[in-house]
Structure 1
Amino acid sequence: MTGGRGAPELLDRMVGDSLGWLERARAHFRLPPNVTTDADPNLTLKPLGELAELTQLIRTSHPRAAVRKQAAGLFAFAWEETRDGELFAELIRGEPRATYPVELYGVFAQAGLRNTAVEELLPATTGLRSWRIAREDHTRTLGVLNAEQRIGLRPHAAFDAVLKLTGLGSMPEPWTLDRKAAYGVTHDVFHLTDWGRARGQLSGELAEYLRLWLPAWLETWLEEQLWDLVGELLAVTACLPAAPYDPVAWQRLADAQAPDGSVPEIGGAPPGPGDGAEAFTACYHSTLVTAFAGTLARIASDEATADGGAVVAVAATP
């Protein structure tokens, strides 16, 4: 890996192309009429929530105004799909013990989008003993705690104590990391840093652990052509102090991106038409992650350039 100075033109093209594909795929993010009853949340709410989470970061943080505008349109679309937050009130009433409505609502609350009915329900649902019980998935608990902080709720557990129980907090032997554990570590970082907004939250010990082993993990998943995890690992890399930049890994991910802007989760392009449901399922998350990782890497590149005194950061480039 090199220093933090990335390749702005490559990163901007990858982010812009990814957002262009996501824009054209809006129809597949739309929620069905039965979203609060018997629809599969992994195929409905999860994609829309991920769209909101990552475009919210891009719309507020990417250095280029045109890219921010693209992301802002997608984020606004996601809020409209929730019927200005009424969806979350229905979900909370239907599943008062569930945490995911609060997690999803937190993304919008952080952006200043609030719903009165949801705000009235939150103290009751988050105060339930069954809602606050410890979860086996400690990474998920970090996500809940982050949502509580975004909304302004009192956290139901100590963040640092939960972090110690996660894959990242325990700093496992690097050769033991399988695919599931690797995804866990990336999300531990995202929750800890509020998806790259608070990179200083990474302790020196955790940052050095990641700096040492990320290149090996990247090489492993590049060989597997698991582009979704490659993108997440590159996003984690961009969260490190003086974020290193791996030109080979970024070029490999760029080469995996199709001309239409989509990035397959694994291997090559999915079979069938690029605008079909099968292609959407196979590409939407990895395409979102590519836009997210490219944004964090672009921010890190600008910071490195500014620190080096060569060029002023392009925070408002049109």
Structure 2
Amino acid sequence: MTGRRGDPGLLDRMVGDSLGWLSGARDRFRLPANVTTDADPNLTLKPLGELAELTRLIGTSHPLTGIRDTADGLFDFAWRETREGELFAELIRREPHATYPVELYGVFAQAGLRHPDVDALVAATTGLRSWRVAREDHTRTLGVLNAERRIGLTRHADFDAVLAQTGLGRMPEPWALDRRSAYGITHDVFHLTDWGRARRQLPAELAAYLRLWLPSWLDTWLEEELWDLVGELLAVTACLPRAPYDPVVWQRLAGAQAADGSVPETGVAPGPEDPDAAFTACYHSTLVTAFAGTLARTAMEGADRAPEGAVAVAGRTP
């Protein structure tokens, strides 16, 4: 991998342009009236939760005030869409065993945005025996454990034991990594490091494995023009100790970014004549580009920031 020297101007432009497009698309993140009944959470709650997760990180980490302000505005918008937390109380009452309301609430709770009914409900539901059953998706379980920590709950399982069962923890043969497994590994890193806030939590053995194989994986998905996964792998790269910076990969991702700031998930985005399809095709990869650019920018400055305070993500001391 290339060394740490990078192009802060390129990164700042990419982050700023991405946030500009996301701000313009804000209304498409609004939750429908039936969000707690028959709406598809993958098309409603998931996008809003991703907006909140990543803009919170950007708003507390990026060195430029203007970028932080824009990200903060989007995060505040996401909180208002939850009716300042009341939405989570409704979701938990309807599905007391569901993990996604707890996962979504975690980033707001970490930011100091709390709702008393939600706090009482999650304290009760996460203490149930049915909550503590083993889940097959170990990566998802890491996310739940991280959310419990953010909220201030006792985690229902041992983080390190679950990590050992994930794709990252098992360190699979790199040549056998498919697209789904690659996404799993990126999220293992994000949950382990609290989305880049606690990069020192990444164990040396896992960091060495990633440092060795990330260039090959990036080459693979650059060839496929899967920009969304390229962005996530760049975010993982920025979480490594002495994070390397590959100008060729960043230039390729910058070349995929449209003039309006959007980044397609893969290939080229749909045209403006179909705004719904364009939003679906671009919102996540555009968020990921802003997120990865922010982590790379702070890593470039040697900043291992923990904006919400130094916390033990995996039972270790940061």
Normalising by structure 1, we get a TM-score of: 0.94
Q: Give the unaligned 5+ runs of structure 2.
A: 304-318
Are 1:260 and 2:294 counterparts?
Answer: no
Q: Indicate the residue corresponding to 1:103 in structure 2.
A: 103
Are 1:132 and 2:132 counterparts?
Answer: yes
Deviates more, 1:265-274 or 1:77-86: 265-274
Q: Does the 8 Å contact 1:106/1:151 carry over to 2?
A: yes
RMSD between superposed Cα atoms in Å = 0.9
TM-superposed CA distance for 1:271, in Å, is 3.2
In structure 2, C-alpha distance between the alignment counterparts of 1:180 and 1:142, rounded to whole Å: 17
Are 1:38 and 2:59 counterparts?
Answer: no
Amino acid of the structure 2 residue aligned with 1:49: G
TM-superposed CA distance for 1:123, in Å, is 1.5
Q: Does the 8 Å contact 1:29/1:44 carry over to 2?
A: yes
Aligned residues: 303
Amino acid of the structure 1 residue aligned with 2:20: G
Amino acid of the structure 2 residue aligned with 1:257: Q
TM-superposed CA distance for 1:47, in Å, is 0.0
In structure 2, C-alpha distance between the alignment counterparts of 1:227 and 1:209, rounded to whole Å: 22
Q: Indicate the residue corresponding to 1:228 in structure 2.
A: 228
In structure 2, C-alpha distance between the alignment counterparts of 1:203 and 1:75, rounded to whole Å: 30
Identity %: 79
Q: Indicate the residue corresponding to 1:54 in structure 2.
A: 54
In structure 2, C-alpha distance between the alignment counterparts of 1:66 and 1:302, rounded to whole Å: 18
In structure 1, C-alpha distance between the alignment counterparts of 2:117 and 2:123, rounded to whole Å: 11
Q: Indicate the residue corresponding to 2:147 in structure 1.
A: 147
In structure 1, C-alpha distance between the alignment counterparts of 2:295 and 2:70, rounded to whole Å: 16
Q: Indicate the residue corresponding to 2:170 in structure 1.
A: 170
Q: Indicate the residue corresponding to 1:217 in structure 2.
A: 217
In structure 2, C-alpha distance between the alignment counterparts of 1:136 and 1:237, rounded to whole Å: 27
In structure 2, C-alpha distance between the alignment counterparts of 1:271 and 1:9, rounded to whole Å: 28
Amino acid of the structure 2 residue aligned with 1:249: V
In structure 1, C-alpha distance between the alignment counterparts of 2:151 and 2:167, rounded to whole Å: 26
In structure 1, C-alpha distance between the alignment counterparts of 2:140 and 2:5, rounded to whole Å: 33
Q: Indicate the residue corresponding to 1:280 in structure 2.
A: 279
Q: Indicate the residue corresponding to 2:72 in structure 1.
A: 72
Stretches (4+) displaced over 4 A: none
Normalising by structure 2, we get a TM-score of: 0.94
Amino acid of the structure 2 residue aligned with 1:296: L
In structure 2, C-alpha distance between the alignment counterparts of 1:91 and 1:198, rounded to whole Å: 30
What do the CA deviations read for 1:176-208 (whole angstroms, capped 9, x no partner)? 100000000000000000000000001110000
